Structure 1
């Protein structure tokens, strides 16, 4: 059991861009953020990235899953061990290999019980399954943390957080609402492809992990016909909440296959920005500003395209004192405390789940995983 009041929690994230593992400490009672603590990053090697990439799209039991899970677990333990001594518990998201919201399935590689045993620390994991059991999309899960961040920065009017990872996702929120799970407080959804198709093309053609700063996109010319073809996909006709698998827009790879690499990257960058702009049309009320987190905020071309297409300021989250490299890891530290205290981690406005739900399993060193307290709220 956690002691009452704020505790230090360690959160981790290994995103769909496959760059590496983030870890961060947050002091919280599961509602209010008290302090942000130290953070760290452990990149995947090219070989590790290839092992994980080979398992993308795979479900439990596939041959490629075991090796990928061992890479994910070892990398997490190596990084988390630096911070575990300060934490009362940890949140381990794992590595998403497949996500099928229509089929009610999701698969994150990595076993929280192994992490708990290696660190000697309680670990909260499998955050998404409970939400999906109650009819939710299982994603995105950061919105309740975004709500707490909006309170932490003193926001008073509706605003949005935009995460540009492998997939893009938006959280619109009203910081004046009574709680994140209150009706009308949050609306969240995946916007469409973001960095994943860019990274995949660059890895295949040039052996690069990403388009650093948007330098390659800046030398290219976007093909608007490809952008419009993407926007014509059925996903953009769906009302949020809604979520995507990393490779849901796999046709984009073929669409840019014949282009010079700079034009291909410029086109995929324009696709990411256009998907966000289309998503913003769903906001219940205008956002005062859009705060951008994730690797995409370092892409100057993508940020310029967003600023041109959205009707409000578009700023990196550092502009309000947050850490855009660590926001998702911090989110799972915050969510771990909520799970341990029986508080909801998703609601109808964030994942489409039938009612507010608290998900996750808790593994303690030397003990079996325990279902989270709370269930359906």
Structure 2
């Protein structure tokens, strides 16, 4: 009998459109001889709708404009088919941050990807730093800014950042993804603008020293015995890999394997697995690194527990380069979710 798999897509985060593109790729590649698949779309307003239309309408956003899905009959009850597995292709808040994972845990339904705690910690860049400092993982120096402190003592906070980190700097919302709300500051004016931009997306902001680095990513797969794929390198079209460079600029390129010798490739794979285990991840994660162009030192950038699955995304491409086809990768992720839920 086929396993029933619910594919969750859309969501309320700033990555709604990226989620739709990822879900379309998953739906086109999942093995329908093994799985009975039904997509559940989540609108930006938070409505959960079982969708039975075309994949193209998921990709282009037309799916929720169908008049049928605006009726009470069209808005189905969550998991009304007694699903066997949930595959959340939901990037960012209210999907990647432990919320959906907690719901699945309450319902005792296997969920693809890490558990509640791992998802929440990895989503929060600040707390991921706190945890990984315990494991002596090399990371960029940083300062944490909250909206309350910034409003109360803006000048002093700016002075602290400049004294500790200098320029250049990256300013990031602590809880966000796909580089949404991230800016680079070369001076005080850009720092202030970057802080105010990041605070639109989160009450907590991470300010990091900017390392003159290459961006290398590693796909990790597994539960108690995780494995890492061939690392890939991002060659952004812009100064850094922001949202536009990732999804809208055709001049951004990826290189698989990354431009490193065999020992360096193996070392960074081992480090990715170490970080994955330290954060108690399961199922999947993409571990992103910064490799200093001058010293070749490796710094952790971030960990993504629901990495992109679009046709241009690094996670499936790195596994494909490692000999695991997209269809097989999806099947393995579903099996890993069932395995972890049973243990």
TM-score (normalised: structure 2): 0.32
Q: Which has the larger radius of gyration?
A: 2
Q: TM-score normalised to the size of structure 1?
A: 0.30
